[in-house]
Structure formats: C-alpha cells, structure tokens
Amino acid sequence: MSLQNPVFIPGPTNIPEAIRKACDMPTLDHRSPDFARIFRPALAGVRRVLNLEGGEIIVLPSTGTGGWEAAITNTLSRGDRVLAARFGMFSQRWIDMCQRHGLDMQVIDAPWGEGAPVDDIAAALRADKDHRIKALLATHNETATGVVSDIAGIREALDAAGHPALLLVDGVSSIGSMPFDMAGWGVDIAVAGSQKGFMLPAGLAILGVSDRALAAMEGADLPRTFFDFRDMVTSYGAGGYPYTPPVGLIAGLAKSVEMLEAEGLDAVYARHARYAEATRRAVAAWGMRPCAAQPALYSDTVTAVVVPEGCNGTDLVTHAATRYGMAFGVGLGAVAGKVFRIGHLGMLTDAMLLSGLAVAEMCMADLGWEVPLGSGVAAAQEYLRTPPGAALADAA
C-alpha cells in the first residue's frame, strides 16, 4: 500500500494536513486551563454539527463501536426490550452488542440494499401498547451497503404511536458528511467517530446526548465505568476529563470543526453529494449498479458497487492494494465478494476521486472484467467539469 495515494475506504478517511498538524502537539497538562481552551471549542463545534439543543456532547477515547456501547450502557438496564432493524453488517453488529449485554432484542429484518423499514418499525411501535420497548436503534448510513435510512421518518413513527422509546442513532459514517439534525429528528443519542467525516485518525467516539437520554441514565443499571456519562459530565464543569484524555486528537477535533464550519456545512454536504453522484455515474458507465435498492437510499459517503456475475469484488480490492497501492473497501457479511466499496467522504478533491476511479478501472481490466478502460472515468469527468451548483441541479 502506498502512503502517498488517497484511500477510498469508507473510513478511516484521508487526513487534511492542517488536522494532522493540529494533532501533533507537545505534551499538555490535561488538568490545566490550556486544555480547557482546546476542549470547550471542540465540544461547541460538534454541538453545531449535530444541531443538538440542550443535552451534552460526550467525547470518549474509543471508536464508533465504543460509542454504541456507551449509548446502551448509559440508558438501559438488563432485560430491557430494544427494537432494531437489521439490514447490513453494522446494524447487525449493534444488535449483537445488545444481545451480549442481556438486552431483549426485537429485530426486524430487511434485505441488504434496503434501508430501515419505517412502515414495519411503525407497526411494531403501534403494537407495543404497554411500551415495553425502551429504545429504538437506527443506523443512519449503513456502510456495508451504501444505504441511508430515513431517521426523520422513524421519529414520525415514534410520535404517531405516542411511544416514549429513546431513539439511538448510529451516525458514524454520516455525521460531518451528510445532513444530520438531532433537534429536528428528535434523536436522543447520536454516535459518531473521529475517523470519518471529522477527518481525524481513529480514536474518538463522539456522541450527542439529549436531555431525555441524560435523565434515563440515572435509572440504567448496565455496568459502565470508563464509558460512564455521569463522570464525564461532572468533569466537564472543571473543563476536563475524569481520566487522561487523548489531547492531540481533541486538538484535531477542534481544528476539524473549524474547517467544516469555514467551508460551511451546507457546502460540505453538497460536496459529498457531488462526489457520490460522480461515482455513481462511473458505476453506471461500467455497466454496474449500486447495492442500494433505489436512488432515494443512495449514500453520499460510500457506494457499494455490485460486481458482474462471475466476478469477485474482493479480488479487485486485493489487486488494487498489491498492484497499485490503493485501498478500496471489501464487501462484508451477506455481500462479501458480491460488491466492492468506494468511500467518497472526508477530505477529497475532484482529482483524488478521479484517481480512484481510474485505478478501479485498471484493476477491472487486469482481472479480465469486460469494462472498457476510461468509460467510468469519462462519465465522472463529464459530470465534474460542470460547476458544482449546476451539477447538483442536473442530478436532481
């Protein structure tokens, strides 16, 4: 793998030089006012990215998986019923975690390539007359299949049923890259990771926690120590942590939100939508299709490309790494070998994206796939040549 090439996995993403430099800092006393001057702007910036009103931003030394665990252990008790949809690898992993914690899982299965089935979720909520369901898990962006789900629609289903369940949302591969509206969608806990839209190295679980979720933690009895929100919130009053924090990563997070807001969040989201559309045009020119079942489900951060019959997506990923030193994502779980994944999130430019598409095409040619060299690249080039605003209007 060449470290000079951009990566096209759906996280960790390419790290901007300004963020890399922000993380590279001398040792700092994390109990000093100097740390608080870094930490507080980082929290405030994440709050704006999530559009969280009230509540708290919790930043833990972990990854998105640790964020999932923190979300459930701080709000639920052993034996609580949890409703979740399973439609990809990452929605399944959160379900598995809940089962290991002794939670009573009510799982709604949907085909891989579909999003969270809002109608089925609504029916399950209506049927739960006694409100035994204490939380609803939703994966906003299923990274395994390149599918985005309708979180606003799930909130509408909760409200229509008059159901008090907490809404816990995995936004690891969407937050910072796609619109996310905690306040508008009534999300109780949103989970993100530093290594995706925030463009940092892996190492931080970033959570938005509503007032309702903070209240729920007082009655929750699942074991937690390192992930205990109560310790974090108490320490925040002094501008610090209950234990040693990853100071460099937090300095990088402060720089990340500064960069996102300098570009403008709407512009960030439009850029991701533009690169996603360019990628899908390349995929169509190859004679292939996204794994996502319909355009309304297309993710703006990752495209899972369904490979032709008789081809293996993992072969392409392996060949790209060994022959050209470039990273793409393999298919996971039920779509292993059937797809390969192109991540187009975080720090990316037109030229970077085109380099990834060109390498993918060379791999296809090397492997004997019937794809003319230049076909997908040309389709993406034609789209990217138009001004960004005009390109997005044309796509709509």
Residue 199 lies in a domain: yes
Average pLDDT, the chain: 95
b/e sequence 127-153, b meaning 16+ C-beta within 10 Å: ebeeeebbbbbbbbbbbbbbbbbbbeb
Q: Say whether both 243 and 277 belong to one domain.
A: no
Domain end among 244, 261, 278: 261
Q: Say whether both 253 and 286 belong to one domain.
A: no
Nearest partner of 203 among 94, 328, 66, judged by Cα = 66
Question: What is the rounded distance in angstroms from the CA atom of residue 57 to the CA atom of residue 50?
Answer: 9
Using the predicted structure, report yes or no on whether residue 7 has a pLDDT greater than 70. Answer: yes
3 state DSSP class of 325: coil
Question: What is the rounded distance in angstroms from the CA atom of residue 67 to the CA atom of residue 57?
Answer: 12
Q: Say whether both 187 and 297 belong to one domain.
A: no
Q: What are phi and psi of 29, to 5 degrees?
A: -65, 115
Token pair for residue 275? 């690169």
Residue 7 lies in a domain: no
Q: Say whether both 277 and 387 belong to one domain.
A: yes
- What does 97-153 look like in DSSP terms, one character per residue? HHHHTT-EEEEEE--BTB---HHHHHHHHHH-TT--EEEEEEESEETTTTEE--HHH
Question: What is the rounded distance in angstroms from the CA atom of residue 144 to the CA atom of residue 11?
Answer: 12
Q: Say whether both 241 and 304 belong to one domain.
A: no
Q: Say whether both 314 and 197 belong to one domain.
A: no
DSSP 209: E
Q: How far is CA 377 from the centre of its chain?
A: 26
Using the predicted structure, report yes or no on whether residue 394 has a pLDDT greater than 60. Answer: no
Q: Say whether both 286 and 163 belong to one domain.
A: no
Domain end among 261, 292, 326: 261
Using the predicted structure, report yes or no on whether residue 112 has a pLDDT greater than 50. Answer: yes
The pLDDT value given to residue 393: 46
Question: Mean pLDDT across the stretch 67-73?
Answer: 98
The pLDDT value given to residue 3: 75
Residue 230 lies in a domain: yes
For 216-269, write each residue's pLDDT tens digit: 999 999 999 999 999 999 998 887 899 999 999 999 999 999 999 999 999 999
Using the predicted structure, report yes or no on whether residue 184 has a pLDDT greater than 80. Answer: yes
Residue 73 belongs to domain spanning: 17-261
Question: What is the rounded distance in angstroms from the CA atom of residue 223 to the CA atom of residue 241?
Answer: 20
Q: Say whether both 224 and 335 belong to one domain.
A: no
3 state DSSP class of 68: helix
List % helix, strand, coil for the chain (3-state, nearest 5).
45, 15, 40
3 state DSSP class of 306: strand
Q: Say whether both 158 and 233 belong to one domain.
A: yes
Residue 333 lies in a domain: yes
The pLDDT value given to residue 395: 42
Residue 1 lies in a domain: no
For 325-364, write each residue's pLDDT tens digit: 999 999 999 999 999 999 999 999 999 999 999 999 999 9
Residue 55 lies in a domain: yes
Residue 3 lies in a domain: no
Contacts of residue 185, defined as CB under 8 A and 6 or more positions apart, other chains included, come to: 151, 152, 155, 167, 169
Q: Say whether both 199 and 280 belong to one domain.
A: no
Residue 5 lies in a domain: no
Q: How many residues does the chain have?
A: 396
Separation of first and last alpha carbons in the chain:
37
Q: Say whether both 178 and 206 belong to one domain.
A: yes
CATH (domain of 209): 3.40.640.10
Q: Say whether both 256 and 271 belong to one domain.
A: no
* Confidence tier at 392 by pLDDT (50, 70, 90): very low
Using the predicted structure, report yes or no on whether residue 48 has a pLDDT greater than 90. Answer: yes
Whole-angstrom CA distances from 385 to 23, 272, 345, 354, 378 are: 35, 16, 19, 12, 10
For 15-44, write each residue's pLDDT tens digit: 999 999 999 999 999 888 899 999 999 999
CATH (domain of 346): 3.90.1150.10
The pLDDT value given to residue 106: 98
Domain end among 227, 261, 295: 261
DSSP 296: G
Domain count, the chain: 2
